[in-house]
Amino acid sequence: MTSNKSPTVESGKPAKEPIAKGRKVRSEPVAPPGSREASQIAAAILEVLAGVRTPTQAAQVLSLSIPRYYLLEQRALAGLVQACEPRPRGPTVDPQREVRQLEKQLTRLQQECGRQQALVRAAQRTIGLAPPPPKPTPKPGSKPPPVTESGGRKRRPRRPTVRALKAAQACRAAAEQNPAVPVPESSVATPPPVVVEHAFVGTEEPRYLLNVRDLASGTVLAWEPVVSPDAAPTAAIIAQLFREYGPPLVLKSDNGSAFIAVEFTDELTRWNVVPLRSPPRCPQYNGSCEAGGGAMKKRTAEQATLAGHPDCWTMANLHAALFVANVVLHPQGANAPTPSELWQQRQPITPTMRAAFTASLERRRQRTREEANIAENDLTRRILFDQIDRVAIGRTLVEFDLVRFTRRSFTPPLNPQLLAKIT
């Protein structure tokens, strides 16, 4: 015997009717997000299509004219049909994403254009060519330019370019008279007022470039060709820089034959400059030198290309690249000073400071030898002496607050033997 019971009520709320198995629940339509005015117009159009209102009543409710209502109704139906179109499968093209990509590309091209314009201005200053004058702006109240019968601006007749071609030929002839320095692959890097860094890279041609660089400001002090990577020409250029700018405290270099030669070492001793050599087979210790030399070679190649002889570098190209690196570029940001401006702000090294640095370096050398348990007689080997000096010079530079530390995470190189030992 069965009994029909009405649904009970708990806590003042009516109980939900039971849903039969296999019966689908019909979902109510949800209004899409939009403004209040758009929602009112959409509701009125739906009521007209459903037969609840007439077009005249809907126009009165919306405070619109009847033609305006029919226009809105036609637009709504067009949007409905367009929304019912089948959508393509897979990822679709996002117009906003394309706009962002185009903006990034535009920014990159603007930066490249500014860089090329700076290179052109540097080349003009190097050869003594004045930049073209800016176009004069029309003064208020001045007469407008003459207009032709067709409505366009009347242009002045162009001057013949014969004189310009003759001048270009004369410039090329003068450039060919300068001694050319073909350098397929070469670099050397060097100093700051405190620390100097340099290294030679040989090429097939008997030509080399010596790049002397201030590590503190990034200023390229010399970008000069040398006949061979020997001690004599290198020591001559370094001594000339010492006489012009003053000797630094430390000269950083690799273990090239020119830098470990007696002639070069005696020249540093005469100026009371401490050599700091890289560990054997460790080029990353001289990394800033290698990067600076590569950048200077790229700038010189660009200047040679602008001059019309990309396969031959001249002294004018070397000086133009030096000017671009020191005066035109802003490596630390557009609002930051140039390397040349930072170099001019350096503090000179006084004899008192040099004497205090030398005395502290000797004390730290002795302490480092004791920590490494190396006898003084063993220091006749240059490798051990350089190893002690690398530790002592680093600690002395930190003591005199001449080194700035920056944190950076990197992965050390691991050979297969070390990887096999890691458990």
User: Which residues make beta-bridge pairs with 211?
Assistant: 223
* CB of 368 closer than 8 Å to CB of 391: yes
Q: Which residue has the tokens 């040349």?
A: 340
- Who contacts 353 (Cβ-Cβ below 8 Å, separation ≥6)? 400
| CB atoms closer than 10 angstroms to residue 354 | 16
| C-beta of residue 307 within 8 angstroms of C-beta of residue 319 | no
Distances (CA, A) of 67 to 49, 55, 79, 224: 16, 10, 19, 83
DSSP-assigned letter for residue 381: S
Would you say 116 and 306 are in contact if contact means Cβ atoms under 8 Å apart? Answer: no
Contact 8, 15 (CB under 8 A): yes
Three-state SS at 192: coil
Contact between 274 and 389 under an 8 Å Cβ cutoff? The reply is: yes
351-372 and 382-399 helices cross at what angle (nearest 10)? 120
How far apart are alpha carbons 66 and 76 in whole angstroms? 15
Taking the chain, what is the end-to-end CA distance rounded to the nearest angstrom?
77
CB 205 within 8 A of CB 227: no
| Sheet with 250-253: strands ordered across | 220-226, 208-214, 195-198, 250-253, 274-277
Residue 346 in 3-state DSSP?
coil
Statement: 195-344 belongs to CATH 3.30.420.10: yes
Torsion angle of alpha carbons 283, 288, 290, 291, nearest 10°? 130
pLDDT of residue 372: 81
Radius of gyration of the chain (CA): 39
The residue count of the chain comes to 423
pLDDT at res. 281: 78
Residue 272 · residue 246 · CB < 8 Å: no
Distance, CA of 209 to CA of 296 (rounded, Å): 10
Q: For residues 186 and 312, give the distance between their C-alpha atoms in angstroms, rounded to a whole number.
A: 14
Residue 97: left (phi > 0), alpha (psi -120 to 50), or beta?
alpha
Identify the H or E element spanning 208: strand 208-214
Given CA atoms 300, 302, 308, 312 in this order, what sign does their dihedral have? positive
Distance CA 292, CA 288 (A): 6
Domain edges within the chain: 37-81, 195-344, 351-399
Q: Check residue 201 and give its pLDDT.
A: 40
pTM tops 0.75, yes or no: no
Going residue by residue through the chain, which has 423 residues, state the pLDDT in tens, using 9 for 90 and above: 444 444 444 444 444 545 455 555 555 666 677 788 888 888 888 888 888 888 888 888 888 888 888 888 888 888 888 888 887 777 777 788 888 999 999 998 988 888 888 787 777 777 766 666 666 666 666 666 665 555 555 555 555 445 555 555 565 565 555 544 443 333 333 333 455 455 444 333 436 888 888 888 888 888 888 877 888 888 888 898 888 888 999 888 888 888 888 898 899 999 999 998 888 877 777 777 777 888 888 888 888 888 888 888 888 888 888 888 888 888 888 788 888 888 888 888 888 989 999 999 999 988 988 888 877 666 667 778 888 888 888 888 888 888 776 666 656 666 677 667 765
Residue 172 tokens read as: 């090329």
Residues with Cβ < 8 Å from 219, sequence gap 6 or more?
A: 213, 326, 339, 340, 342, 343
pLDDT for 14 equals 46
Phi-psi region of 312 (alpha: psi -120 to 50; beta: other; left: phi over 0): beta
Residue 423 CA to residue 420 CA, distance in Å, equals 8
Beta bridge partners of 223: 211
Distance, in Å, from the CA atom of 214 to the CA atom of 331, rounded to the nearest integer, reads 14
Would you say 31 and 39 are in contact if contact means Cβ atoms under 8 Å apart? yes
Closest by alpha carbon to 288, among 394, 214, 342?
Answer: 214
Q: Which helix (H) or strand (E) holds 177?
A: helix 162-177
Beta-carbon contacts of residue 35 (< 8 Å; ≥ 6 apart): none
Distance between CA atoms of residues 158 and 257, nearest Å: 61
